[in-house]
Amino acid sequence: MEKPLLPRESGQFIAEQSRDVFVEDEGVQKVAEMLYGLQHSDELTASGWKKANPLAPAPTSDQALNWVFVVDTMNFSFWPEEETQQCEVTYKGTTHTGYMTLCAAITRAMEEGVPITDPKYFSQMNVEELGRVLRSDNETPMPMLRERHQVLTEGGRVLLEHGGSFRSFISQAGNDAQRMMELIVEKIPSYRDEATYEGKRISFYKRAQILVADYWGIMAARGQGDIINMDWLTMFADYRVPQALVYLGALRYSDTLMQVLKNGELLSSGDRREVEIRGCSIWCVELIKDRLHKLVQERDGQPCSVNSVIIDFYLWPYAKQHHKEMAHIPIHHTRCIYY
């Protein structure tokens, strides 16, 4: 079977063929200008990792690396069936929803003495034990418990085969972000985020890329972020960043697709429209990054170090912070283990 196109090439291929999602040049310029104004702020650096992950252990410990592996392996499908029925986890007086419920639940379990970041434990835990770790404060459980259990135990077994920790596993790839991502996708089946579009095998590798980016963020927070090929990674194609890109005018949905999403229609993983939303988001961020680099070169006469990962690190919280203003733009809903 042919190897799939890598995420960046997949994004370009999809954007060139797309029927329902379009990259808008004016919006790309607008977002690049917005980021140009932020380029000297902490918001566009990797060293803000702890600020972006307030519930993680201190980045100085290798426990933080295993925590990231556990969280990123189960980092998918947090949206509720009904907006009023959010899964909630309260930790230290703050009630979290969405992705942060997972972070809060894992950190809460650590405080309760559950060795949830130890691959020896989580490779063998049963579904009831994981259900207790991920328990919600209300009647709405975290979705896809059985799938989360399956991917976490599978991931734990892989770590045990490669030295018993995420650090020992990932170190096989040296300091190369591309090799790290390829290693993750090759060894851990749940990270193989691939589809077929217009007869071609394509890939997004959202969680694999986040795992590499989080590893980079922790190492950068330690002053050891000298990982090469970070530019090779793309944004992480999910459901929150596309909404922000549409809101900012850099992406546009056809009227038909907009109506489908407003009707709350579930898109299956690999559906043409779902693939177009994710692929065009990747390519849109690549164009924003290229435009930003050009602006910095033209106006400041120097190279720009902002990569697609950092742009994603900015856009995802931006979407969360402005969720009320962008409530009129529907997010797409796909129940799967990839995002």
Catalytic residues: 238
Q: State the Cα–Cα distance between residues 142 and 135, nearest whole angstrom.
A: 7
Residue 26's Cα: distance from chain center in Å? 26
Phi-psi region of 58 (alpha: psi -120 to 50; beta: other; left: phi over 0): beta
Q: CA–CA distance from 179 to each of 7, 66, 82, 213 (Å)?
A: 14, 19, 40, 13
Residue 11 and residue 234 in contact, taking contact as beta carbons nearer than 8 Å: yes
Separation CA 37–CA 68 (nearest Å): 31
Tokens read off for 280: 């065009």
* Residue-by-residue DSSP string for 64-130: HHHHHHHHHHT------SSTT----EEETTEEE-THHHHHHHHHHHHHTT--TT-HHHHTT--HHHH
Is residue 214 a contact partner of residue 65, using CB atoms and an 8 Å limit? no
In angstroms, what CA-CA distances link 247 with 133, 322, 328?
A: 36, 10, 9
The residue among 91, 322, 76, 108 whose CA lies nearest residue 210 is: 76
What is d(CA 95, CA 102) in angstroms, rounded to the nearest whole number?
12
Neighbours of 125 (CB within 10 A): 18
